[in-house]
Amino acid sequence: MFISKSVRKMSSCSLSQVDDDFDCPVLPGLPDDIAKYCLALVPRSHFPTMGGVSRRWRSYVKSKEFIVVRKLAGLVEEWLYVLTMDAEGDGTHWEVLDCLGNKRSDLPPMPGPVKAGFGVVVLNGKLIVMAGYSMIDGVGSASSDVYQYDSCLNSWSMIANMNVARYDFACAEVNGVVYAVGGYGVNGESLSCAEAYNPETNEWTIIESLRRPRWGCFACGFEGKLYVMGGRSSFTIGNSRFVDVYNPEEHTWREMKNGCVMVTAHAVVGKKLFCMEWKNQRKLAIFNPMDNSWKMVSVPVIGSSSVGFRFGILEDKLLLFSLEEEQGGFNTLLYDPNAAPGSEWQTSNIKPSGLCLCCVTIKA
């Protein structure tokens, strides 16, 4: 109703004129700052419709400014984006769940070939899927392609390719910049190189390399620094406990020696990292970067007797999606790190339609 009334009031600029003229007001008769605030009040489910009204509206809805205004208004909604295995096990798709676990929609199919070993990062309300390994006509190859899903416009687009094709690498966002580190290259060689993506310029830039090749690892950001851990490296036998820490301001790496190994799931909640290791999948390993310490928390057998999980984050709580289907489907546990002692664990009704392969939270 709000959108249709606004469109009818566009007396000074027809929609066709607005499509060709970014100088027209956002809403005729209102200063642009007030008009933008009005648009930010619209429920999230209507964003794609708003983006279809005009190029001016579309540009605003997809901008970082739009998310900032919604945050200031206290209207940001958290939705879960889950990459799930189809029931028959012959394909995957992304689906969207709201904070109550209601399924909102399926995402349009991602462009490009089906891949494995790709990286996923959330940046400015957008889902970025990077690189990976694909099989085309029986020939496998590493990719440097990067695709971006705009959650406000419900559409995919291709952004700048990475400098180095890679898969099974670490990636994370730190201070509005996306980093990709290590992995395997075009010929299956292990990589030590790293690069950074600036969304403002749509460019990937090679940064200082790791001291050694590293693959099968993961990354996260704390206090403006990039942490890379897990996986394997050419300097260790078996899985690595070394943690590589990159300081973007100094453009340097340093090394710690108390990381996690063989991590099957990880997530950052608040200012702590939660990991699940392959050898002990009924316990959470929790890393505090303030003092570089780890502690273990047992996962109770409530709601799920599974020994395998994928992680999600919702309202500063950790969701544990079972990798084993039990009676009633895939059950979900919830861990609240801020709850009173003894009340941290609950069961949750939030469930993807199938096996969870990956889950991220997008606030918009």
Contact (Cβ atoms closer than 8 angstroms) between residue 319 and residue 348? yes
Residue 97 confidence (pLDDT): 96
* Domain spans of the chain, in order of start: 2-72, 77-107+298-364, 110-261
Residue 340 confidence (pLDDT): 94
Residue 236 confidence (pLDDT): 66
Residue 190 confidence (pLDDT): 95
Tell me the helices (H) and strands (E) count for the chain, helix number first: 6, 27
pLDDT band for 1, please (50, 70, 90 cuts).
Answer: very low
Mean pLDDT of the chain: 88
What mean pLDDT comes out for the span 233-251?
Answer: 87
Q: What is the Cα–Cα distance from 66 to 76, expressed in whole angstroms? A: 10
DSSP, res 209: P
Tens-place pLDDT, residues 49-63: 999 998 999 999 989
Does residue 305 carry a pLDDT above 70?
Answer: no
- What own/partner pairs with CB < 8 Å and gap ≥ 24 does 293-300 have? 294/258, 294/260, 297/335, 297/344, 299/333, 299/345, 300/333, 300/345
Residue 2 confidence (pLDDT): 42
Residue 6 confidence (pLDDT): 43
Residue 129 confidence (pLDDT): 98
Higher pLDDT, 359 or 23: 359
What mean pLDDT comes out for the span 82-92?
Answer: 81
What mean pLDDT comes out for the span 220-232?
Answer: 95
Residue 303 confidence (pLDDT): 57
Residue 69 confidence (pLDDT): 93
Residue 216 confidence (pLDDT): 95
DSSP, res 189: -
Contact (Cβ atoms closer than 8 angstroms) between residue 75 and residue 40? yes
Residue 184 confidence (pLDDT): 97
Does residue 326 carry a pLDDT above 90?
Answer: no
What mean pLDDT comes out for the span 18-27?
Answer: 66
What mean pLDDT comes out for the span 146-163?
Answer: 96
Q: What is the Cα–Cα distance from 34 to 121, expressed in whole angstroms? A: 32
- Per DSSP, the residues of 74-121 read T---EEEEEEEE-TTSS-EEEEEE-TTS-EEEEPPPPSSS-EES-EEE
Tens-place pLDDT, residues 252-283: 999 998 888 889 999 999 999 999 998 887 89
Residue 89 confidence (pLDDT): 67
Residue 306 confidence (pLDDT): 65
Does residue 71 carry a pLDDT above 70?
Answer: yes
pLDDT band for 361, please (50, 70, 90 cuts).
Answer: very high
Q: Does domain 110-261 have CATH number 2.120.10.80?
A: yes
Q: Which amino acid is at 57?
A: W
Does residue 15 carry a pLDDT above 60?
Answer: no
pLDDT band for 337, please (50, 70, 90 cuts).
Answer: very high
What mean pLDDT comes out for the span 181-193?
Answer: 96
Residue 8 confidence (pLDDT): 35
Helix, strand, or coil (residue 37): helix
pLDDT band for 301, please (50, 70, 90 cuts).
Answer: confident
Instruction: Tell me what percent of the residues of the chain surpass a pLDDT of 70.
Output: 89
